[in-house]
Amino acid sequence: MKFSISEKFTLKISWIKVVYEQEGFAKLEGCYLSGPVIKDVDQMNSNDFMDLDFGNQYLVFVGDYYIARFSWAGVRHVPEKIFLDNVTIKNRHVNSVPKLNDNDYIIVDTKNHVDDNHSRHLTYAAYLIRFDGDRYNFEEIGR
């Protein structure tokens, strides 16, 4: 199942390694942002977060919403990428749903987060993608 959202608003979150050190947290080492929307991103705060809504994808496991806090402490902008330091994903289910793999990545749909309407949308629609570009279909796994 190939994945598609508006190219213009696509943000890709990639990492080199995922480490699960404690309950409710996953640490993403070597994390960076890329994708077409990067050219429109203003300077990011060094210590900040995004709330990623994986609800539609993880519903089969959690039974309700699944919003994970993606946070960082350190930012470095280079052309076409933004490198993040001390990155974690936090949610009480993060250790009980299928774990992130080192070669997975997350696609974030940022269309509701342009300056005019960002304040009316508290979360970012997000999807966990396999190394081959297919979106994980957890409904098939959960059966």
pLDDT digits (tens, 9 = 90+) for 81-90: 999 999 999 9
Residue in the block written with tokens 């990067």: 38
- pLDDT at residue 143, as a whole number: 39
Assigned domain for 65 exists: yes
Closest to 102 (Cα-Cα) out of 125, 138, 140, 130: 130
Assigned domain for 2 exists: no
Assigned domain for 115 exists: yes
Sign of CA dihedral 34, 124, 18, 7: negative
Assigned domain for 36 exists: yes
The total of structural domains in the chain comes to 1
CA–CA separation, 106 vs 126, rounded Å?
7
pLDDT digits (tens, 9 = 90+) for 10-69: 899 999 999 998 898 999 999 999 998 888 777 788 999 999 988 777 565 666 667 889
Quick one: average pLDDT of 104-113? 83
Assigned domain for 107 exists: yes
What residue numbers bound the domain in which 36 lies?
A: 7-142
Assigned domain for 116 exists: yes
